[in-house]
Amino acid sequence: MDLVENQLRLLLAETGAYHEGHFEIGSGQHTLSYYNCERLLQYPSLASRAVDAFFSPIQDIEANFVFTPSISAVALAFEIARRTTWQFALHALPFTLPDYHFPKHTRVLVVEDVVTSGRSLRHAREWCSQRGAEIAAYAVLVDRRSDSGGNFEGNTVISGFMDPVQVFAPDECPACHDTIPLDLVSPNYRSNHQELGE
Amino acid sequence: MTEVTDRTDILEIYRTTGALRTGHFLLASGGHTDSFFQSATIMQFPNIAQELGRRIAERWKDTELDFVIGPALGGVVLSAVTAQFLGVRSLFAEKSNNSGEMFIRSGMMVREGEHFLVVEDIVTTGRSVMKATHAAEHAGGMCVGISSIIDRNGGATRFPFRYRYLAALHVPIFAPGACPLCKSGVSLEKI
């Protein structure tokens, strides 16, 4: 485990943002662990420390805009924008920004807290390119995709660390098989993450 | 980058960033208006967002607070920057899919009796501020105040809590049947 991963895992563990157990996620599939980063990112000082941990590769990206498709990642995205002095935009479903258009020559760094399926990154890419911006790279705190290779659809994904998640169909779930009671990830958590398919 | 100092007028900030739009707009409340403050445009500039957060924090520095909360989407960035200056947590409330109410994600734990400040970009009817307040109260918190960048009712908005705004502007809102812009045939834009 490298230093960055170690620092971030500590922050996530200390704030209770990492959970192990038996969970049903938005897609209806089961998993044995999940992160709710808002538990960490609600502390401005800790959000800033999280950015400290993986900021150095971010400042080498040729971008001039930070965009996040997720309300829970605002503290992270804004902190990156503040340090780089790049501009900043937030657009999270189901809200809409009327007539939004990026300035000419906008190159966007898309920021997300946790990426599991990649659907929120795809939403971000579509939203930005429909509004005249080019994707420069992605920055995520925890990349839970398997075999991601550190990129998404041809662009670099800078991540704090990778922790590929195993998801199971309910009838193939080992925890179900062992009759471990299912912890429904709270309805609030589910209703939000369903929209982005995370 | 758009420059702001600690004395730059709020209306000036909206004007110079292109966030003050004039025309004929249909507000979420159903009313019509000739000018519209698009705060997302000013929040694009981290230095401006921070300056606004600093000004709001300044007005509450002597109040004991545990967290700041903003209703999504308008209050989310403002909550983050205000909380940073106050050295407290930043939460957000969002609309539930089913009812018109707001809720706080279970990840952001509110302890019983925690004091909170609600922040919002623009207060028009005050509805989303009150929904965010109810969500945080429901989670166990105690509201000690409300702040916004602009009070669109010229300073006449009343909340059942202390309310401090950075600027009060009176912008008339017309009922659809009584809107002079409709009468003069200006096309209506939904916002």
pLDDT in tens, B143-178: 999 999 999 999 999 999 999 999 999 888 899 899
Q: In what order do the strands lie in the sheet with B115-123?
A: B102-103, B89-95, B67-71, B115-123, B142-151, B163-168
Query: Tokens 């202390």 map to which residue?
Result: B162
B188 touches chain A (CB under 8 A): no
CB neighbours of B188 closer than 8 A, spacing ≥ 6?
B24, B25, B26, B32, B181, B182
The number of helix segments (H) and strand segments (E) in chain B equals 6, 9
Q: Which of B44, B95, B107 sits opposite A88 (nearest CB)?
A: B44
Q: In this complex, do B92 and A71 lie within 8 Å of one another by their Cβ atoms? A: yes
A17 touches chain B (CB under 8 A): yes
How many alpha carbons fall within 13 Å on the CB side of residue A20?
Answer: 2
pLDDT in tens, chain A (198 residues): 688 999 999 999 999 999 888 888 767 788 899 898 999 999 999 999 999 999 999 999 999 999 999 999 999 999 999 999 999 988 876 666 667 889 999 999 999 999 988 889 999 999 999 999 999 999 999 999 987 889 999 999 999 999 998 888 988 888 888 877 777 554 344 333 333 333
Q: What 3-state DSSP class applies to B26?
A: strand
Evaluated on CA atoms A117, A119, A120, A121, the torsion sign reads positive
pLDDT at residue A196 in the model: 34
Q: Which of A87, A90, A186 sits opposite B77 (nearest CB)?
A: A90
* CA distance to A20, A41, A97, B33, per residue, from A37 (Å): 14, 6, 25, 39
Q: In this complex, do A191 and B91 lie within 8 Å of one another by their Cβ atoms? A: no
Evaluated on CA atoms A132, A138, A140, A144, the torsion sign reads positive
Segments in chain B forming alpha helices (H):
10-16, 39-42, 46-59, 76-86, 127-138, 180-183
What ipTM does this complex have? 0.88
B45 touches chain A (CB under 8 A): yes
